[in-house]
Amino acid sequence: MIQVAAYPAREPAPETAEIDADTLAACRAGDPEAMTAFVRRYERSVFAFLSRALGHGPHVEDLAQEVFLRALRALARFDAAGSARASTWLLTIASRLVIDERRKRRVPTEPLDEGLAAQTTTTPETEQRRGEVGRALSRAAGELPDDQRDVFLLTEFHGLDASDIASMLSIPKATVKTRLFRAREHLRVLLKGILEET
């Protein structure tokens, strides 16, 4: 996964580990420490999905907060012992919010914000090259249709399989596979030069 230099304040928990049942129970009871631990555990994943799906900006933080508020509100109904993982559940909430947000207003997808672009110009040559690749990837993904981009993001960046995504987006599994195939084809064409160089 992405190692983000701009977020070194604390050691992030391993992305694969789900939060434990005791912490979830304490969250349900309204324990502030447990709730903080819950948010900290999943905030990076939610921010990553939202910012890649809708572009960088202050709206990402607003939407991320809405995701966590909804999750904490509905935590009593979440079955920690069931098959659903908390990360998948949160991404389901996030993906529905993304769909709602797109319906409400057309969100312009920004390839990268100015801050990130400025950071890359001052790095050594390899870092600069990586920054260029990242911008090209972001730009190419921004050209994908929304439905293809969501499936691509959830598969490529969050490690979800077609079944999970199908249930998250309430679409057939075959549709997930089709969208993923088309997204990859589209990106392959758009990034032909970049991928050959790397």
Partner 1 sequence: MSRWDEWKAQVPANDFAARTVTAALRERGSKRRLDARRWAGLAAAAAGAVMVAGVAWGSWAQLRGMSTQAAPPAPTTTAAPRSAQLDPRLLTGQEAAKEAALAAVAAEQRRVQDIRTRLQPARRVAPAARPDAGYNPISPHCDCMPGDPLCSCLGAPGPGP
- Which residues are at the interface with partner 1 (CB under 8 A)? 1-2, 4, 6-7, 9, 30, 32, 35-36, 39-40, 43-44, 47-52, 56-57, 60-61, 64-65, 68-69, 72-73, 112-113, 116, 130-131, 133-134, 137-138, 141, 156-157, 195, 198
Sign of the Cα pseudo-torsion (158, 35, 60, 116, in order): negative
Query: Residue 152 Cβ, how far from partner 1 at the closest point, in Å?
Result: 9
* Residue 31: φ, ψ to 5°: -75, 120
Burial of 124 (0-12, 13-18, 19+ CB in 10 A): exposed
Query: Residue 121 Cβ, how far from partner 1 at the closest point, in Å?
Result: 14
Query: Residue 99 Cβ, how far from partner 1 at the closest point, in Å?
Result: 19
Neighbours of 106 (CB within 10 A): 9
Shorter beta-carbon distance to partner 1: residue 169 or 183: 183
Shorter beta-carbon distance to partner 1: residue 107 or 116: 116
Query: Residue 1 Cβ, how far from partner 1 at the closest point, in Å?
Result: 7
Shorter beta-carbon distance to partner 1: residue 127 or 172: 127
Query: Residue 135 Cβ, how far from partner 1 at the closest point, in Å?
Result: 8
